[in-house]
Every structure is written in C-alpha cells, then in structure tokens.
Amino acid sequence: MSNDVKLIDYLRERHSTPVAQIKGPGPDASELEEILTSATRVPDHGKLAPWRLVVYRGDICKALGETFLEIALQQNGEMTDAAKDAELARFTRAPLVVGVISTAAPHVKIPEWEQVLSAGAVCLNMLMACEARGYVANWRTEWVAYDDKALKALGVNDGEKVAGFIHIGSSDFATPDRPRPQLADILTYA
C-alpha cells in the first residue's frame, strides 16, 4: 500500500498474498518493531493484553522445518519427497514468520472468548501494518498450530493457543481476488 492510498480505498481492496509468492526482502529490525508495535494496538477488553508475539527468522526457521519433518514422519510414516520438502520449508517460505499466541484464560470479569477475539485483531492488524510499511503478509495456522510436539518446538506453552502465524515479506505478484460474501447475504437490520 503506498502512502497516498486512503485507508478506505485500501480496505475496499484488501487481500493477502499467497505464501508461495512471498519473497525477500522482509522488514529490517526497526521496521519490524514498528509493525509489531502497531499490530498490538488493538481493542482489548479489560486491558489484559491476552496475547504475545514470537518472531521466527533465520536459522531457527530452518531448524523448525527439520523438527516439523521429524514429527510428520513419526505420524505419517512414508512421505513423498515433495511432502518432506514442504515440511522443511514450512517456516522458510517467507523471510520471517510472526506467531501471534493467544494467552486467553478464565478471568473474573472478561470472557475468555473476548480475549481470543482480541488475538485475532492483532493478526489482522499485523497484515495491515505490513502493507502500510510496503510489505505483504499471509495469516496461516497449518497443522503445526495444533500439534503438541510442534507447539513445544515453536515455544508455545501449555494452555496457550496459536491465533496465527503471519508470514511476512515482499511480492509484486498480482493476487487474483477470491470470492467475497455479498453484503446483502450476511446483513440484516434489526
């Protein structure tokens, strides 16, 4: 998104870039700090900050791929070479991945559901903050967000959940739009 695009125009056309189309460069350390700071400026009932972020980039992403492959082989037995490569590359497709981890927990006043929703808001805000800084992003979870062994390798603690892995980088790919719901089909006036 260029700086002279109005927010409403951006939102009208907003879309993700497929992970396979996300290449380098990724944001540098100060751009990333700005993106992550903006991303966490979200509605948050009770000011609990019921989420945290984990940045995966560089060698750690390669090592994670090896761990994912190991787990997948234990669970699936035989795998094709393409399937093995997909595991190895799971966190190296884009220059970096940011995990948005929901730390939602029972609270005396704030429903857990609302805490979870706030983590989703961080994910969408991060997509938009990336675009605002001239990068592209894609919000994924994939099986590694639901597998106990993978979660341990990813640094996700017991009781936490992955709201999203945001894959971030650059692209000039013209993403075709996907079908969008017609407003009339999902809207009623009470």
Ligand X SMILES: Cc1cc2nc3c(=O)[nH]c(=O)nc-3n(C[C@H](O)[C@H](O)[C@H](O)COP(=O)(O)O)c2cc1C
- The residue with its CB nearest to ligand X is 16
Min dist CB 155 to ligand X, Å, is 19
* Amino acid code (one letter) for 150: A
Min dist CB 109 to ligand X, Å, is 26
Largest CA distance in the chain: 54
CB-nearer residue toward ligand X: 11 or 49: 11
CB-nearer residue toward ligand X: 31 or 142: 142
Min dist CB 18 to ligand X, Å, is 7
Min dist CB 124 to ligand X, Å, is 8
- Show Cβ contacts of residue 54 under 8 Å, excluding neighbours closer than 6 positions: 98, 99, 101, 154, 155, 156
List contacts with ligand X (CB under 6 A): 15-16, 138-142, 164
How many C-beta atoms lie closer than 10 Å to residue 97's C-beta?
28
CB-nearer residue toward ligand X: 67 or 138: 138
- Show Cβ contacts of residue 64 under 8 Å, excluding neighbours closer than 6 positions: 56, 90, 91, 153, 154
CB-nearer residue toward ligand X: 15 or 41: 15
Residues 99, 96: Cα–Cα separation, whole Å: 10
